[in-house]
């Protein structure tokens, strides 16, 4: 009964459309104790209703779509210490035999490796590392520039964090060295210094929205900023490149914070909220996760960013249907598009779990 009372409070009619400007403060969030309940609800819905696709690697059980969800599942386990999440992630990894996707050079097919490496930190089963290590060893032996292998900004969530984790669990510096080489070449290529945001890929360098604005995709930039915490956390303090990732993280956070709508959501097209005015929850979820992480780590000023995170987390809860389905999730794509309250996808649930994991930490940090 308690679970459904909380879900009612968070999905009541006044705000279930995703619009509205009232949001819960951290104190109110803590009082209703909604975070773990909503995370479990969203996770259970996604486990019961997995996404299925019929093209390219989206049909693969170890492709980027389920991987981005299970990255959130692992984060939920670490934040809640609920073995339910660990068991689900382990079952998924075992069903994939701890293998990566079939395309050696494609970043999307590396995302699942992040889940395997996270599980390895508990199991210490070296067989779980074999496929991940083999892929990156082959890439290091035959390198291409980052802008060729990671030519779209989504790739910066899919492959670099896995590579960073591999360097951590193996202790082999060559993986971090390769990471830096690849990442900064990609960033130099796709990052717009004037607006402090990432283009999705080169096709958008000169494209403009219907209202004449540059096209910066919410989920694309969400992918990038959500990948950075998982990179930074896996770099030694003495790594000379670590501070550069932190500075990029701060720059993105600063650029994104003023683009949040009054209702707590970021729009699909970051600079042109009028072109697709509906909320978009996957990009918003990744951004809330990253900003909350930044506060928790002391990289972002609490007074400046906590209201944004509170507003964003409240908005994400408004996107959750009564059965745990998270709506307002833009379909698979490469640029801003329209979205409805009924649209959902596994990566939207993954973003929600990531955001929830850092909201738990934010509450704990406020009241240790």
Residue 169 three-state SS: helix
Distance of CA 61 to the CA centre of its chain: 19
Give me the DSSP letters along 299-356: SS-HHHHHHHHHHHHHHHHHTB-TTS-B---PPS-SS-----TT---HHHHHHHHHHH
Q: Which residue pairs from 338-345 have beta carbons closer than 8 angstroms and sit at least 24 positions apart in sequence?
A: 338/268, 338/276, 338/278, 339/268, 339/276, 339/278, 339/279, 339/280, 340/278, 341/16, 341/17, 341/18, 345/51, 345/65, 345/282
Please provide residue 280's backbone torsions phi and psi, each rounded to the nearest 5 degrees: -140, 120
Tell me the two tokens of residue 90: 């382990």
59 is catalytic: no
Q: Which of 197, 200, 113, 117 is nearest to 159 (CA)?
A: 113
Which one from 34, 109, 154, 335 is the annotated catalytic residue? 154
Q: How many CB atoms are closer than 10 A to CB 153?
A: 28
Look at strands 197-198 and 266-267 and give their pairing.
Answer: unpaired
Q: How many CB atoms are closer than 10 A to CB 240?
A: 9
CA angle 360, 86, 54 (to 5 degrees): 100
Residue 100 three-state SS: coil
Residue 298 three-state SS: coil
Distance between CA 188 and CA 212 in Å, rounded?
A: 24
Distance between CA 162 and CA 295 in Å, rounded?
A: 23
Tell me the two tokens of residue 15: 């705000």
Distance between CA 211 and CA 276 in Å, rounded?
A: 11
| N-term to C-term CA, the chain | 29
Active site residues: 154
């Amino acid at each position: 009964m308690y679970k459904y009372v909380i879900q009612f409070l968070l999905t009541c009619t006044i705000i279930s459309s995703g619009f509205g400007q009232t949001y819960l403060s951290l104190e109110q969030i803590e009082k209703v104790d909604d975070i773990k309940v909503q995370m479990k609800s969203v996770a259970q819905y996604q486990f019961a209703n997995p996404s299925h696709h019929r093209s390219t690697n989206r049909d693969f059980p170890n492709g980027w779509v389920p991987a981005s969800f299970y990255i959130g599942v692992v984060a939920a386990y670490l934040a809640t210490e609920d073995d339910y999440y660990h068991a689900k992630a382990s079952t998924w990894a075992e069903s994939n035999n701890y293998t990566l996707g079939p395309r050696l050079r494609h970043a999307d097919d590396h995302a699942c490796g992040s889940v395997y490496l996270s599980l390895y930190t508990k199991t210490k089963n070296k067989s779980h590392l074999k496929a991940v290590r083999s892929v990156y060893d082959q890439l290091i032996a035959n390198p291409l520039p980052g802008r060729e292998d990671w030519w779209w900004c989504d790739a910066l969530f899919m492959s670099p964090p896995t590579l960073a984790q591999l360097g951590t669990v193996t202790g082999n510096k060559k993986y971090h060295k390769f990471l830096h080489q690849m990442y900064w070449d990609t960033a130099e290529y796709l990052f717009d210094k004037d607006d402090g945001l990432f283009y999705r890929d080169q096709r958008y360098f000169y494209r403009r929205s219907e209202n004449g604005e540059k096209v910066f995709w919410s989920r694309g930039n969400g992918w990038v900023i959500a990948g950075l915490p998982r990179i930074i956390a896996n770099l030694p303090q003495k790594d000379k490149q670590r501070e550069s990732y932190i500075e990029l993280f701060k720059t993105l956070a600063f650029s994104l914070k003023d683009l949040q709508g009054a209702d707590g959501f970021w729009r699909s097209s970051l600079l042109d909220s009028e072109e697709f005015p509906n909320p978009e929850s996957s990009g918003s979820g990744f951004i809330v996760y990253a900003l909350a992480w930044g506060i928790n780590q002391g990289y972002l000023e609490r007074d400046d960013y906590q209201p944004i995170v509170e507003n964003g987390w409240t908005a994400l809860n408004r996107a959750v249907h009564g059965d745990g389905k998270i709506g307002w999730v833009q379909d698979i794509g490469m640029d801003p598009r329209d979205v409805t309250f009924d649209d959902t996808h596994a990566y939207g649930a993954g973003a929600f779990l990531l955001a929830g994991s850092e909201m738990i930490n934010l509450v704990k940090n406020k009241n240790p």
